[in-house]
Structure 1
Amino acid sequence: MVLCAICKRSFVQMKQFKTHFTFYHPGKCYICPNMDCGRTYQLYNSFRRHYLKEHSDSSMLQQASSVQDFAIGQETSPVNNDPLHNVCSATEFQIKENNSTIQSDSKHNTPPLSDSLGQLFSSLYSNPHLPNNVLDTVYSGIHNMFTMSIRPLLPVTSSSAVAKLTTDLEMFSSTYKRHQFFESKGTLVNPEPYTVGRRFDYVKKKGKTYYQAVECIAHKIPIRDVLHKFFSLPNILHETIDAMKKLMAHDTSNSIEHYMHGSFWRQKNHGDKIVMPIFLQIDDFETLNPLGSHSGVHKLGAAYISLPCLPYYCASLLGNIFLVLLYHSTDRVEFGNRIIFQPLIDQFNDLFKHGIVFDLPDFKGTIYFELSLILGDNLGLHSVLGFVESFSSNFPCRTCKVEKKVMANQVYEDESLLRTESNYQDDLKTNNSSLTGVKEKCIWLDIENFNLFSQMGFDVMHDMHEGCAKYVMCSLLVVFVDKMKYLTIDIVNNKISSFQYGPDKKDKPVTLAMSNLRKGNIRLNAAEMSTFCKYFGVMFGDFIPRHNKYWQLYIQLMTVLDFIMSPRFVSEQIDYFKYMIADFCEMYITLFNQSLKPKFHNLLHYHSAMLRFGPLRFLSSMRYEAKHRFNKLAAKSTNNRINMTLTVARKHQLMLNDIFLKETIRSPLSFGGQAEVPVSECKQILDQMQWSDITKLYKVSWAAKCSERYQVNSVIVTAINEENIYFSKIDDIYVDGVSKISFKAKPLQTIGFDNHYHAYNVLDSLQSSHIYIDQDTMQYPFLCNCVVIGHNINLPEYHIVLSKPI
C-alpha cells in the first residue's frame, strides 16, 4: 500500500497512485511518504523503484497484489481487478455498496477538478510559444477522453458526479470561459485599453474598402493590482521588508553594494512610511522580422517596472519584471510622450500618495512606492525624457551641456557644464534644441518628488558591451591581424570555436568576418561581447608580447569594465576610477587617432552616478531586453496582427497569472540525481557546516541556486582577502533538499594575478585534504572558469577567469 504525501490518500497499487497523482497533482514532485525519508523525485519510475526497494518488503508486495478491498478514510469498497475499474477509481469517487451513492472527495482535501484543470491551462497559457488554438485542442482531447473513456465506466447511480465533472469541464471550453475562471480566482489582471489618438486608414467592411478614421489603442496594466497580488504571495512581502531593513542598516563607509546604499536614496526622508523604490524601463522592440519587408509596422514600445529591494534570490528573475504599458512606437512619435505615458504618471502618483494596504498574516499596514529611476538605452531615454534623439547634434549629452566638438576629445567630466534644474528651465525658455539639446519639457516632472537630473539611469550594456568595448576590440583585432601579423582571422575563429567557456558557454561568441572588422563592425551581441572580452586575454595572450602598447589598451578596457561591473565598491575608489576612465579614453585616442564617440563620453559621468545609484551593473538593460523575448514569442505565436498590443499584453498577464495561481515564484534550490549520504559522513558534514537544524543530506550531481548552477569539478572562490583570492575545485555537492548547499572541495594554490592574461594563475595543491564550504557563507558565490595554460603534465599551470568581477 502506498500513501500520497500531499493529500494523504492511500492506494493499494502503484498504478492507482500514479493515476491519482497525475490527475490531481500535476507538475508536483513525487515525495516519499515515509516520515524518516522524505526524498523527492521528478520522475515516477524513480520514485517507484525507491519506494518498492526501501519501504516495501516481499510480504507487503504479495499482500498488496492479493488484497481484494482497501480502505479510504473510514470506509471500504470492493476492488475490481478490471483495469477499467481502476480508471474509474482514479476519478476519486467513493462507491458505497449499501446505498450506491457517490460522494465527492472534498472530505479528503482533494482539490476539485476545476482547480486541477485551472492549473493545467494556466501552465499552458504561460508558455509564450503556444497559440490559443493549441489550448482548444488540449481541451478537446480532455473532453473526448472523459466522454468516450471515463464517463461510460461510471456507475449509473453516479449521475450527480457526472454532472459535476461535466460542469467543471465546461468551465474551460473556450478562451473566454478560461479567462473568466482565472478572474474568479482573482489571479488574472487584465490589460486596460485607452485611446491615444486617431488616424486615417483603409478599413474593409462587408467586402468593401473604406478610408476612415480609426482609433489608435495602447494598453496599460494596473500597477496597484499587480503589486498587491505579487506581495500577497506567501512570505514575499515579509522577506522584502527584512531585505530593506538590512540594506538600510548597511555601513556604506565599508562598501556600496546596492541602489539603496547610494546617496540619492539615503538622503530621502520618508518618516515612518515604508517606501519601496521602483525602476521604470522603457524600450522599443520589433515583434516581427526586423530585417523583413514589414519591419517597423508592428514595432511596439514597452514600459516595465522592477523592484530593486526584492530579496536577492528573486530580484533578477524575469517573472518579477512587470509589464505596465504597451503601445505602438509610431503612435508615440505621432501623438507625443504626454498622451502615451500619462496613465503611468497617474499610477505612480497614486502609489506614492496612497500606497497599497495589505492585510496579510505576517504584515498589516500600508506600503508606499516611489519612482526612483528611469532606465533605458541612450536613444530610449532621450526620446522619453525630451532630449534630442540625434547623437550627432550640437549638444548630444543628456547629463551635461558639452558641445559635440569638445566631446570628441574630452576625457574628464566638466562639472560646470552639468545640467541643473535652473539651466534646464532656461533651456526650455530658449526653445531651440540645436542650442540646448532639449526638445521638449520632460513629462515625468509631473510625478511627485521626481528630479530629472538625479533620476536618469545609465546603461552599461549599450555604453560598454555594445559601445566602447566593440570599438576597442574591433580596432585591436584589425591591428593584431593586419598590421602586426600576430594573429590571422583563422586562428581567431578557431580559438573562438574550440575554447572551453565553462559557466559562460551559453554566451559563446560567434565567429568573426575580417571584412566586417575592417569596417569597424564586430557582430556580437552584448552577452557575447562580454564573454569575448573576458576570455580574450587567455585565448590570445600567448600570441601577443608582454608590454605591447595595444595589448595595454585591452588590459585597461578590462580594468574599467571590471570596476563598472563589480557588485560592490568603496567610495574612496571613485577618484581612482575617474582617472582610470581618463587613461582609457586617452589611450584610445592616441593609439588609433580616433575621436571619442558619445558612448565614451557617457563613461565620464559614471563615477558620480555610482555614488548616487550604487553599482551600475544593476541598472543595465540586459535583463529588461531579455524580457522582450517573451513578448516577441507571444507576438509570433499568432498570425493575427489586429490589435497587437492587446495580444502581447494579455499573453504577458496570463504568464503572470500562472505565478499568482500557483502562489510560487520559483524554488530557490534545484538539483539533479541524488543519493543518500551515509550517517557517519552526514554527521561529519553537518558538524563542519554547523547545521544543527538539519538531520539528512543528499549527494547530488549538480545544484542550482539564485541562477548559479554548481557541478562537480567546478571551480569556486573559497576566500578573499587584501592579498589574494583563493580557489577550490568541487569534488562533491550536498543538499538538504530545501535550501542548503554545501561543497566538499579541494583547494588550489594561488600564485597571483597575471595582468597580461587578465586572469589568476593557480596550481594544483600538493595537499590532499579537503575543505567543506557552505554556499550561503561564500563571499563570491559565482563560478569561475579554469583554463590550462602550461604543458607540465605532473604539475599543470592554470589560469582562472572570474565569471563576474569581484
Structure 2
Amino acid sequence: MIPCQFCSYRCTTYRSYVKHVFESHSSIPNFLFTRGLNGCSRTFRNYSSIRSHFSRHHCNELESTVDCLPSVSDDVITNELDAYGATVHRSESLTQLGESSETAPHANECVSPDDTLQRSCALYLLTLKEKYKLTQTAVDFVVSQTKDTIQTVIDNLHQSVHDSICSGNQPNFDHIFESAPNPYSGLETQYLQSKYIENNLGVVLPIPIFLDSTTETGSVGATSRLMEVRDTFQYVPLLDGLISLLNNEEILTEVMRPHFRSDEIIGDYCDAHLYKSIPLFQDSDHNLQIVMFYDEMEVCNPLGAQAGVHKLGLFYYTLGNIRPHLRSTLRAIQLIACITCDNVKKYGFDKILEPFIDDVNTLSQEGISISFNGRDILFYGTLLLVLADTVAAHQIGGF
C-alpha cells in the first residue's frame, strides 16, 4: 500500500495514487508535491507537471504495488496527545497550516468516486474565486462551458462506441454512459456552490446582525417616499468558527502542544506571570487563548471624493495557542465582524461586540466539544488580548 503525502489515505498502485492526489489535493492553496518515485528528488507545484513527469520517467512503475516512495518519517511526525490518547499527523514546519487535513479524506472513510470528483470541482471553483479573483459571472461561465465540453466529449464517445458494437451482440453500454454523472451537477449557480461549500468544506458563513432602523426620504421614480433604512453588520459566529478550526488536525495539534518556555525568558504571552494568574489557564494548558485585533480599512481611493463614505471596521481573531511564527500567517487569522465605520461611531463598540462577548462567555462557561478519533474533547477559552493601532486602541478604550 502506498501512503499519501497529504493525508492518511493509502493507494494500491502509483497510478491510483496520482489520481488520488489530483482528485483530493491538487486544488489546495500552496500545493507542493515532494514524494518522487525511487528516490526522485523532483518537486512539483501543479498536477499537470506531476502527470507529465510520471509518464515520461516512471511509466513502467505506475502499475507497481510495491511502495518505492521515500520514507515519510523525516516529513511527517506522529504526535501522541497524552491527555486523550489521540494520534495525529502534522508537518514539522506546518507550512501548509490549515490546508491539507481540510481537503483530504481519511483512510477509514468510504468516499464514492462521484463525491470525490464533485469535491474536486468545488475546490477548483473556490480557487478560481479566491486565489485568481474571478467574479461570480466568470465562474458561472466557466461552469457552463465546462459542462458543455464534457457533455460533448461524452456524446462523441457514446456515438463511437455505439457505432462499433451496433452490429454485434455486445453488452449494452448505453446505460453506463447515460448514467455517468456530470461533475458540475449541483454546482451551476452561486447558491448551489455556496450550499455545497458550506455543507462539505467546513465554511462558517457570516450572519447579519440588526442594530437599529431609521426613516429617511427616498425617491421612487418621480415620487418621494419615507423609507426604512436598516443598520446591520456581518458577524461570523465565534463558536462555530472555533469548532471548524479545531476540526483541522494541525490546528488541534498546536492547541494540544503548548509552547511554554522552560527557562525564565518570556518568548510569548503565555510565559508571562499575568497569563499564569488567569484561573482558566491555570486549569488546563489546552484552553483556548483568543487574541482579537481591530483595524479600519478604506475600500475607495483615500484621496478621492468618496473617501470615508465606505470605510469599514474589521474585527479579527487568532489563537494564542498557535506558535508565533505560524500565528501571524494569513491562514491562521479569522474574521469576526465587518461593519461600516459610520455605524461604529453611531452605536459604539459595546453594541457591536455584544454577540462576540456572548460567545466568549459561553466558551468560558460551557466550552465547545470537538470529536476526534472517536473521542469527545471539551475545550474552554476566553479573550486573552485585544490588539489595535493607536487610533483604534483609543476608540476601543473610550478615549
Q: TM-score with structure 1 length normalisation?
A: 0.37
- Amino acid of the residue matched to residue 114 of structure 1? Q
Structure 2 residues not aligned, in runs of 5+ = 65-109, 163-172
Change beyond 3 A, Cα 1:172–1:197: same
Correspondence 1:229 to 2:244: yes
**Mapped partners of 1:176, 1:24: distance in 2:** 23
Q: CA deviation at 1:109?
A: 6.4
Q: Distance in 2 between matches of 1:48 and 1:320?
A: 34
Residue 129 of structure 1 deviates from its aligned partner by: 2.8
- 1:211-250 counterparts in 2 under 5 A? 211-242=226-257, 244=258, 246-247=259-260, 250=262
Instruction: Tell me the equivalent position of 1:402.
Output: none
Rate the CA distance shift 1:351–1:290 in 2: closer, same or farther, 3 A. same
1:148 matched residue in structure 2: 152
Report whether the alignment pairs 1:272 with 2:275. no
Residues 305-361 of structure 1, C-alpha deviation per residue, up to 9 Å, x if partnerless? 111220345211112111111111111212233322211111111111112112212
Counting only pairs closer than 5 Å after superposition, residues 506-585 of structure 1 correspond to structure 2 as none
Provide the residue aligned with 2:26 in structure 1.
26
What secondary structure is seen at the aligned counterpart in 2 of 1:337?
A: helix
Distance in 2 (CA, whole Å) between partners of 1:339 and 1:239 is 33
Kindly provide the CA deviation profile for residues 405-452 of structure 1, in whole angstroms up to 9, marking residues without a partner as x. xxxxxxxxxxxxxxxxxxxxxxxxxxxxxxxxxxxxxxxxxxxxxxxx
Do residues 351 (structure 1) and 354 (structure 2) align?
no
2:385 maps to 1:370: no
C-alpha deviation, 1:269, in angstroms: 2.6
Cα distance change of structure 1 residues 324 and 160 upon mapping to structure 2, 3 Å threshold = farther
Give the aligned residue type for 1:240. Answer: V
Give 1:113 deviation, angstroms.
2.2
1:330 paired to 2:330: no
Which has the higher mean CA deviation after the structures are superposed, 198-207 or 323-332? Answer: 198-207
Judge conservation of contact 1:314–1:320 (CA < 8 Å) in 2.
Answer: yes
Equivalent-residue separation in structure 2 for 1:208 and 1:297 (angstroms): 26
Match of 2:372 in 1: 360
User: How is 1:74-85 mapped onto 2 (pairs within 5 angstroms)?
Assistant: none
**Could you tell me which residue of structure 2 aligns to residue 165 of structure 1?**
181
2:193 pairs with 1:183: no
| Corresponding residue number in structure 1 for 2:133 | 129
Q: Percent of aligned positions with the same letter in both sequences?
A: 21
User: Measured at CA, do residues 359 and 21 of structure 1 come closer, stay the same or move farther in structure 2, by a change above 3 Å?
Assistant: closer
Which residue does the alignment assign to 1:623? none
Choose which of 34, 45, 54 in structure 2 pairs with 1:42: 45
Give the AA of the match of 2:150.
F
1:129 maps to amino acid: K
CA drift of 1:250 comes to 2.3
Q: Is the 8 A contact 2:237 2:336 kept in 1?
A: yes
Larger Rg: 1
Partner of 2:272: 262
Deviation at 1:286, TM superposition (A): 1.0
SS at 1:257's partner residue? coil
**Contact 1:179–1:188 (CA<8 Å) still a contact in 2?**
no
The answer to whether structure 1 residue 251 and structure 2 residue 255 are counterparts is no
1:293 is aligned to 305
Secondary structure of 1:179 counterpart: helix
Contact 1:199–1:215 under 8 Å retained in 2: yes
TM-score by length of 2: 0.71
Q: Shift of the alpha carbon at 1:18?
A: 9.0
Counterpart of 1:152, as a letter, is: N
* Secondary structure in structure 2 of the residue aligned to 1:115: helix
Is contact 1:7–1:110 with CA below 8 Å preserved after alignment?
Answer: no
Q: CA deviation at 1:189?
A: 0.8
Q: Whose helix fraction is larger, Structure 1's or Structure 2's?
A: 1
1: distance between equivalents of 2:290 and 2:111?
45
Match of residue 579 from structure 1: none
> For each residue in 1:629-679, what CA deviation from the matched residue of structure 2 results, as whole angstroms up to 9, or x when unmatched?
xxxxxxxxxxxxxxxxxxxxxxxxxxxxxxxxxxxxxxxxxxxxxxxxxxx
Q: Partner residue of 1:283?
A: 295
Query: Which letter maps to 2:359?
Result: Q
Give CA deviations for 1:2-45 in whole Å, capped at 9, x if unaligned: xx99855576xxxx999997677634556666355475333545
Instruction: Tell me, in whole angstroms, the C-alpha distance in 2 between the residues paired with 1:267 and 1:354.
Output: 21
Q: Which one-letter code corresponds to 2:364 in the other structure?
A: F
Aligned residue number for residue 352 of structure 2? 340
1:199 matched to 2:202: no
User: 1:469-502: per-residue Cα shift (whole Å, max 9, x none)?
Assistant: xxxxxxxxxxxxxxxxxxxxxxxxxxxxxxxxxx
Q: Which amino acid aligns with 1:26?
A: S
1:560 corresponds to: none
Contact in 1 for aligned 2:255/2:288 (Cα 8 Å): no
State the AA in 1 paired with 2:212.
G
Task: Look up the match of 2:74.
Answer: none
CA RMSD of aligned residues (A): 3.6
Aligned equivalent of 2:72: none
